Amino acid sequence: METSELLKKVRKIEIKSRGLSNQIFAGEYHSAFKGRGMAFSEVREYRYGDDIRNIDWNVSARFNETYIKVFEEERELTVMLLIDVSGSSHFGTQEKFKNELTAEMAAVLSFSSILNNDKVGVILFSDRVEKFIPPQKGRKHILRIIREIIELKPQSNKTNIAEALRYLTNAVKKRCTAFVLSDFNDFEKNYEPRFADALKIAGNKHDVGAIMIYDPRELEIPNVGLLEAVDAETGEVIWVDTASAAVRKGYSAWWNETQITLNNTFAKAKVDCVRVATNEDYVKPLIKLFKHR
pLDDT, one tens digit for every residue, the chain (293 residues): 555 675 676 677 777 777 777 666 666 666 666 545 555 567 888 887 778 888 999 989 988 999 888 765 555 689 999 999 999 998 888 888 999 999 989 988 888 888 777 899 999 999 999 999 999 998 899 989 999 998 999 999 999 999 999 999 999 988 899 999 999 999 998 889 999 999 999 999 999 999 999 999 898 888 888 888 888 888 888 898 888 999 999 989 999 999 999 999 999 999 999 999 999 888 888 888 877 66
Sketch out the chain's domains with CATH numbers.
3-31+75-292 (3.40.50.410), 38-73 (no CATH)
Nearest C-alpha neighbor of 12 from the set 91, 107, 120: 107
Nearest C-alpha neighbor of 100 from the set 162, 10, 165, 25: 10
CA atoms of 12 and 114, how far apart (whole Å): 19
Q: What is the DSSP letter of 116?
A: T
- What pTM value is reported for the model? 0.80
